[in-house]
Amino acid sequence: MGKVHVFDHPLIQHKVALMRKTDTVTKEFRELATEVAMLMGFEATRNLELEEVEIETPLCKTKVNMLKGEDIAIVPILRAGLGFVDGMLALVPNAKVGHIGLYRDPETHEPVEYYCKLPVDIEKRKIFVVDPMLATGGSAVAAIDFIKQRGGKDIVFMCLIAAPEGIEVLQNAHPDVDIYIAAKDERLNEHAYIIPGLGDAGDRLYGTK
């Protein structure tokens, strides 16, 4: 079963609390999303492999640890996942970015695919699937299904807020995927929104409501 990592770092907790507030405006919400993505990404990349290489400082030759050139892909689930991309790219600027377009049908809450474009060598990459919200889990499961169908193997999922229902669905569907979350909330309401949550993440990021 994939591990669930819940971040208890005070900076992450504080910033997520600000994002939840109704009076946090779009500009501020977007900035906070980038900052939280960086803070979470810092920890989620902890297991990247290092290799010892010889370099020259101005004084002498020495051996240092550097990233093993592990190839990374960041895959936001559109649209709200885009809010995590800049923060992750600040940490791993050479990462490739794939996009998966999914929206939840307002009646059934089932994910509907409208776009999928991944790096051609996705099977070789460590893949960070990013989306602020894990509610029913339908979107995350569908996105990871697409990635696996195209050869992706080494996948982690990162989100801000998760409902217990979504975590369970994702773990059952993809037990090989570790899940990184900033907050585990109480439940879903009758419209499959996370309670207390932060509302509709896409609308809050892009000011569309």
User: Which sequence positions are flagged as catalytic?
Assistant: 104, 108, 200, 203
State the CB neighbour count (10 A cutoff) for residue 194: 26
Q: Cα–Cα distance between 83 and 206 in angstroms, integer? A: 9
List the one residue out of 195, 191, 198 whose CA is nearest residue 160. 198
200 makes contact with ligand URA (CB under 6 A) = yes
Residue range at the interface with ligand URA (CB under 6 A); choices 56-64, 120-128, 144-152, 197-205 = 197-205
Q: Which stretch binds ligand URA (CB under 6 A): 82-90, 95-103, 113-121, 190-198?
A: 190-198
- What is the 8-class DSSP label of residue 8? -
Under rule CB under 6 A, residue 197 binds ligand URA: yes
Give the interface size with ligand URA as a residue count (CB under 6 A): 9
DSSP strands (E only) in 15-168 = 50-56, 61-67, 72-78, 96-97, 99-104, 111-117, 126-130, 133-134, 154-162
The footprint of ligand URA (CB under 6 A) covers 80, 133, 135, 193-194, 197, 200-202
Binding site for ligand PRP (CB under 6 A): 77-80, 103-104, 109, 111, 131-140, 166, 192, 200-202
